[in-house]
A and B are shown apart, each in its own frame.
Chain A
């Protein structure tokens, strides 16, 4: 507005007569004077809400970050206790919910609380809420758990809650508070999980997910509609109003933001004041022994031949190709299983030849080289803690056996353990140190910040899995530099994946958010990353072909990386301005 279009300002200054009188009648004691100033300050301020339980949080147990306090405040007071907490991975959504629950407990608005999580995270939630916030919950895996009508504070796996056995009791109650972790589990409105949440009755709800939009905006619609039915109107209205047909651009973006802002909080890593420590990548490729080379070539040749004859066997062939670079033990197990299966095998001879070649291996190169790494760690790091990841149980067993033989303290972690056992294993690893050999069952949410060194003994062909492995130790609370060792055999598929693909996209330095957009694009274009790798491997006629193929895939990837910036623009279009709260007092 132009100056002439503005209203006038009239400034008047009251005389300081009262003050002069006070001065002449004597100067007050400082403590009273101070209270007068503070009272004036309060008189000039606006009433505001606050997290009253904050002072009761033990700072020894949990260091609260500004964005977390802010999110809890907004979820409770600005969103009336129904919020989608959609921070990017690693920013502490569990802490935010812990604070919300603590505050509700303080205000006595939490007579009955149900927390639904993926099965493997239930115990972790239980432990964190107790240790960090002093909130005692019973978990459906506890011996004392008597059913959903027997306790007032329950943490349960969502699949247990929806099971025929419990569903009726879960639905029969009016819950005060519902918390749902990994809320994208219920993105599909046609699933039993969605149905359960849809039918639950509750006063307050807090849903957590780092990825509200998994595939399409409908995901967001479904999740938000559970929290705030009607916020987006009907499904059709939502689609017509906010999404154009090919889903590439948004329409009525401002309004979408405005409505989402009523229910969703999303903090982005780059906008928080969190300092992540450095990540140091040490990729080591080793010359395989002659016997290992022969085995690798035999398997690769077999896989190519078998796949060209029968592409229906793809999964098992892909498995063999991954196992041959992981360990002979892993390969052997699968081949024996195949040979023992009763159905007709067309390649029995070839498989038996492979078995012979496995037998011919005396020394497993990777295993030997792993000792080098473990020894380096033992010499330089307190209690020599290192986590070795492998995709295969057989490899895990072999690695554990060899480490045990060398006298190292070892711990095994795999999907076959119960939740309680998993807790115990992590505790033992923390207390005793040594080497934790884990399969990828060491999943989201389990905190291992007390360890800062990990080894990728073999490499998943899915980059997200690699990032998830790293994310177990490289997260808030990690105070030291994180070291990631990658092990690969030269001239094998592993080297191609490592050198030509993962390093090309700088995978080991990517955060989940950045990576997922690249991969989502890649997968949307038809094939999965794993499929791409496998197809290129089996279709190449020569070494040169193979190299060229991988180079072109790398170029594709780099293109996707560029394109992913566009996707990011799309996402920030959706989520822009849902970052740290509007309140900054």
Chain B
């Protein structure tokens, strides 16, 4: 799982656009901050109505130019359209990783890296090809208190074993994104048959493994967003709680004041000079009584809610602040990679020895390897070791 999210800078956009338009067969005449573009007649694009158009690399558009000019800057509409179109254009691709792709740059196992021997030479012998899928997964993280966060993650999974192959992802990501990748132009497309005969269910299963791994890969970022969303929820709840406290106080005060007024009205009723005055006072008393009862009922509710720690409201607020993580596999690359055996020629001061291990291009040593002297498993903690030319492991030396 490799994070491949990248800042959208002007130069990244320009490089992409130049390559994309060239790929479409367009002729581009670059004149400082203005590009004249002519698309071939058979190409149909959504981002421009006409086959000939001008791209501005800045926002400084002269009056009258606005309608004819496509502005290519990180936040422009044209950029968005162009990227949207390109993003949907060729979502499935394939390539083959052969020994030659890595220029003999092999991944040494930890039991060699941590050992005291030196690798004098390494030779890989391919036995058979395997297929993996590198899934590119877009992850959207959303919550009410933060801007939406997006990531693009890459995960490579072997189709048969379902093992993740981070080494292969690394090579692929380099290939996809480094501006001057050496083997892009000569990249082998792989054997059509093996790539196009994957059973749909198998493919679905493997692609499904990608998003899960991708989410694990951004767990730290998700946790951070969760913390801050929780703080936002907490402060909203605290605000609510204080408001309710205030309301309880206000209600109590109001009820107190109504009680006083009722008390006074009772005196008025008793001391009324006329029938009419008496009736008026009684009516008023009735009205206030009802008002007081309402308030008391409300206060009762408020106190009840308080007694329960405003659990319902809290739940509501926390639910509203909950984090939604959505994954979408947006593209995948079928990767044919070679498996076989690697032969490390290792040496110490006295002599050299040969160590063999199952190996896959990009993935490194694929299986457990045991000490040829004592049969213990080799590992970071138990690296190979050579004493006076005798090969063994740390355990047995």
Contacts and interface: CB of A to CB of B under 8 A. Distances in A.
Q: Do A and B interact with each other, yes or no?
A: yes
B324 to A, nearest CB: 5
A36 B91 contact: yes
Nearest to B73: A47
B308 to A, nearest CB: 16
B90 A29 contact: yes
B8 A46 contact: yes
A35 B19 contact: yes
Interface in B191-214: 192, 195-196, 200, 203-204, 207-208, 211-212
A44 B11 contact: no
Interface string A2-15: 00011111111110
Contact of A33 (B13, B20, B90, B234): B90
A46 B13 CA distance: 12
Contacts of B150: 43-45
A6 B222 CA distance: 12
Contacts of A37: 93, 136, 176, 331, 333
Nearest to A107: B58
Contacts of A544: none
A50 interface: yes
Given A33-B331, A44-B5, A19 B92 contact: yes
A34 to B, nearest CB: 6
Contacts of B319: 7-8
Contacts of B195: 27
A35 B196 contact: no
A41 interface: yes
Given A37-B331, A40-B138, A48-B7, A5 B234 contact: yes
Given A12-B327, A40-B331, A35 B89 contact: yes
B318 interface: yes
Given A11-B215, A31-B23, A35-B20, A52 B10 contact: yes
A41 B6 contact: yes
A47 B322 contact: no
Contact of A8 (B20, B231, B318): B318
A30 B9 contact: no
Most buried by A among B19, B215, B328: B328
Nearest to A14: B328
B233 interface: yes
A7 B8 contact: no
A48 B74 CA distance: 8
A34 B319 CA distance: 40
Interface string B317-335: 0110111111111111110
Nearest to B144: A7
A22 B318 CA distance: 40
Contact of A35 (B9, B75, B90, B227): B90
B212 to A, nearest CB: 7
B93 A33 contact: yes
A416 interface: no
B159 to A, nearest CB: 13
A13 B153 CA distance: 14
B285 interface: no
Contact of A19 (B176, B196, B329): B329
B95 interface: yes
A45 B13 CA distance: 11
B290 interface: no
Contacts of A311: none
B127 interface: no
Given A16-B207, A30-B189, A55-B11, A7 B89 contact: no
Given A9-B226, A16-B329, A40-B136, A23 B203 contact: yes
Contacts of A44: 5-6, 138, 150-152
A46 B184 contact: no
Interface in B75-119: 75, 82-95
A16 B332 CA distance: 10
B234 A45 contact: no
B134 to A, nearest CB: 9
B143 interface: yes
Contacts of A42: 6, 8, 12-13, 16, 83
A50 B8 CA distance: 10
B177 A38 contact: yes
A150 interface: no
B229 interface: yes
B120 interface: no
B187 interface: yes
A7 B318 contact: yes
Contacts of B189: 30
B325 A10 contact: yes
B286 to A, nearest CB: 48
Contacts of B192: 27
B90 A20 contact: no
B61 interface: no
B4 interface: yes
Given A37-B176, A39-B87, A40-B136, A14 B326 contact: yes
B11 A50 contact: yes
Contacts of B329: 14, 16, 19
A52 to B, nearest CB: 6
A135 to B, nearest CB: 19
A410 B82 CA distance: 65
Nearest to B151: A44
A585 B5 CA distance: 10
B8 A33 contact: no
A11 B137 CA distance: 14
Given A35-B23, A41-B4, A52-B11, A6 B334 contact: no
Interface string B224-247: 001101110110000000000000
A438 B5 CA distance: 55
A582 interface: no
Nearest to B200: A20
A340 interface: no
Interface in B124-165: 136, 138, 143, 150-152
Contacts of A29: 90, 93
A27 B176 contact: no
B75 A23 contact: no
Contact of B87 (A6, A9, A36, A45): A36
Contact of B94 (A18, A20, A30): A30
B207 A34 contact: no
A16 B204 contact: yes
28 contacts: A6-B227, A7-B226, A7-B319, A8-B318, A8-B322, A9-B222, A10-B324, A12-B325, A12-B326, A16-B204, A16-B329, A19-B207, A20-B207, A29-B93, A30-B94, A30-B189, A33-B92, A38-B16, A38-B86, A41-B4, A42-B83, A43-B83, A44-B5, A44-B150, A45-B6, A47-B74, A49-B9, A50-B10
List the 10 shortest-distance A-B pairs measured between CB atoms, nearest first: A33-B93, A28-B90, A47-B74, A39-B86, A48-B7, A32-B90, A44-B152, A50-B9, A14-B328, A39-B87
Given A8-B319, A23-B92, 14 more contacts: A16-B207, A19-B330, A20-B200, A22-B91, A22-B92, A27-B196, A29-B93, A30-B94, A36-B89, A39-B86, A39-B87, A42-B8, A48-B8, A52-B10
Interface of B: 4-13, 16, 19-20, 23, 74-75, 82-95, 136, 138, 143, 150-152, 176-177, 184, 187, 189, 192, 195-196, 200, 203-204, 207-208, 211-212, 215, 222, 226-227, 229-231, 233-234, 318-319, 321-334
